[in-house]
Structure 1
């Protein structure tokens, strides 16, 4: 077997595998047929998916991206401007040929090169947004009205339209933002290389950081990533902790109200270093959160046959985890509400010589002194004996019952 034939067969196997994977992920029978027809048409009109183009340099991942891109273009079929069968391929490299197809189907005007890769993204919301931006700009509409997660000035839009074709769209947005604010190319590359190329929540906060960095003197660019990581984990990152024996709980970041007003780059570098030195290994850590009593008294009824009805306030996260596990519901997720005094949780049960049997879990709003909910195991509605005890306790403590 000749070497060239071997290369072609290897390329063909990679193409076939890329097509097989795309068809398997395309959904129902109609979707698979539509994608198959599109692939056949593309193969008939171009060498984009022919072994001869890829022989000797076959890149399996690039082939998967191309076929994934065809499926994405098919998803915009309702917006196609021209028939697929009228496409005249242009470009030498595979990305250029694909770009000519995307322009043929969805654009009347040239689209910035950085947006071409939108069609190669893994399927999902972020990919769909980028593909929408491609179509928006291809129809002659402004970059500034595309709905980017960063509001672009005219200068930023100009920088974005000239961003290198090989970078991610998120990177290009951050890069253009820094350049548009007057930052050097080196600073723009440093900022866009951090998690800010994919984190756009809290844009006003991150814009204030960029202004601080623009005015910093003597800041080493290598310090920007540690600063961003420190600020993100303090202000935005949800944390997973373990309470009780093995209950995992997602809690708010340590300092959601963090502001950098009055800070300097030097002070942020120092804080980032201190945080990194104290940082625990990645993964859930064991935590116990405790809070003070609410001021509402607990309940203990008269003993009958050695047993008494009781209502006990739960005062730490371990108690909530144990209650949730025993009662098979999600009361453990109320930990932060209890810490912040937005809620109080109570356990209703029967106590006797053999111990305590949990019967219901109660939530009371401490600000309004209102019983807002009560539930038995698996979130079942309380039975009448439990309701009667809740009403008696509420009457004693001046609580309103709304459940």
Structure 2
């Protein structure tokens, strides 16, 4: 294992650089080739990725297709990918060469042998490459035409591993299988939940569709926004049924702000997994016998404690200087005299400072930032902190909170939308509410 971490010998490094220069010198203008010749050209080269990038050109569509359809593939896998791309080339499909669709086409090639129809019988009816991909997936894998729209949309949105293997699920449902019998579901489904899961809106991720179905089955569809805005909209907890009972606890309480669900869920998670203050963790903690008023008061008290504790560093806490690699999302400035700034926070101290200023528990996202699951961004207006944003690794903005966990206002939403558009980030509808 240690040998893998050693730097390359200088002679090896020089040889690698020479290969890169030679590959760049041999680069040809592949766009002048016919589609079939382009596919043959793609699979005619081999080598490490730096050499391939030099051969095809920086940021080339062919280089991206090579990464997903040829690099580190077995001979059989390369042949399947080549056959699919040749078939698409023969039909003059606009799926070639869209680099963002390369992973999806590689998955189509991997699962094509399990399809219900032949590629030769497919005819694209639109010039739009994303609609062509939807049509191709339905043609190859959807025998009865009833695979849910949100699953098909996951192919075009690049969410093929969205809590489960979307391609595998598509093949299972396309053959007439039931959702609840899919062998890799992270939770068990009742028939009622399965029914609503099939009806989930097209743009939803698997987790969003699951939450939609679980709430619809309980007669609580109006709670979808607050649920997706909480930790329940970002991950499946081990004791998922318990967390759904927390939602029912809120729904049964009169005159309570639904968006207090998020802070309360954070408080409960802390109480069950780590403990609060000098209390040990209480894995069996429940809301039985508790009033909504007492739960909200204890949540607010915990947030006040977090703000005070941010000034000191307990022995078991990570160092304030702890840092991590940023998500590949650019910062943003806008307005006259840079009135608005959106900046990624990249140290534990930054999280603490943000949480102390806006009086929320963003410092608890240290682990998610270190593992690359989330990125935390701070929006300032005229130099003052106004909003904290969480972006997940799938480039979705999942949280936007201001002072004391308030929702974002219209002005802030406008700036967040501009920043998201610049970075091609997805903003779920519940964030607007």
TM-score by length of 1: 0.53
Q: Which of these residues, 169, 190, 195, is aligned with residue 133 of structure 1? A: 169
**What is the distance in 2 between the residues matched to 1:183 and 1:217?**
14
Distance 2:71 2:302 in 1: 43
Q: Distance in 2 between matches of 1:153 and 1:102?
A: 27
Which whole-Å deviations, capped at 9, do the CAs of 1:277-325 have from their partners, x for residues lacking one? 33366xx96329xxxxxxxxxxxxxxxxxxxxxxxxxxxxxxxxxxxxx
1:171 counterpart SS class: helix
Q: Partner of 1:42 in structure 2?
A: 88
2:142 aligned residue: 107
| Structure 1 residues not aligned, in runs of 5+ | 1-11, 52-62, 239-252, 289-403
Q: Highest CA radius of gyration, 1 or 2?
A: 1
Change (3 A) 1:276 1:104: same
Q: Structure 1 or 2: larger strand share?
A: 1
Shift in CA distance, 92/269, structure 1 to aligned 2, threshold 3 Å: farther
CA RMSD in angstroms, aligned pairs only: 3.4
Q: Which residue of 2 aligns with 1:175?
A: 212
User: Counterparts of 2:147 and 2:158 in 1: how far apart (Å)?
Assistant: 17
The aligned counterpart of 2:305 is 278
CA distance in 2, matches of 1:269, 1:131: 43
Conserved 8 A contact 1:213-1:265: yes
Query: What residue number does 1:58 align with?
Result: none
- Counterparts of 1:1-400 in structure 2, within 5 Å, are 15-23=61-69, 27-50=73-96, 63-90=98-125, 93-109=128-144, 110-119=146-155, 120-121=157-158, 126-128=163-165, 130-146=166-182, 148-185=185-222, 187-197=223-233, 198-236=235-273, 254-279=281-306, 286-287=315-316
Tell me how far apart the structure 1 counterparts of residues 259 and 119 of structure 2 sit (CA, whole Å).
48
Q: Is the 8 A contact 1:133 1:146 kept in 2?
A: yes
The alpha carbon displacement at 1:13 in A equals: 6.2
> Are the counterparts in 1 of residues 162 and 205 from structure 2 also a CA contact under 8 Å?
no
User: Per the alignment, in what secondary structure is the counterpart of residue 149 of structure 1?
Assistant: coil
Aligned residues: 250
Which of 157-166 and 203-212 deviates more?
157-166
Distance in 2 between residues matched to 1:195 and 1:276, nearest whole Å: 16
Change (3 A) 1:204 1:127: closer
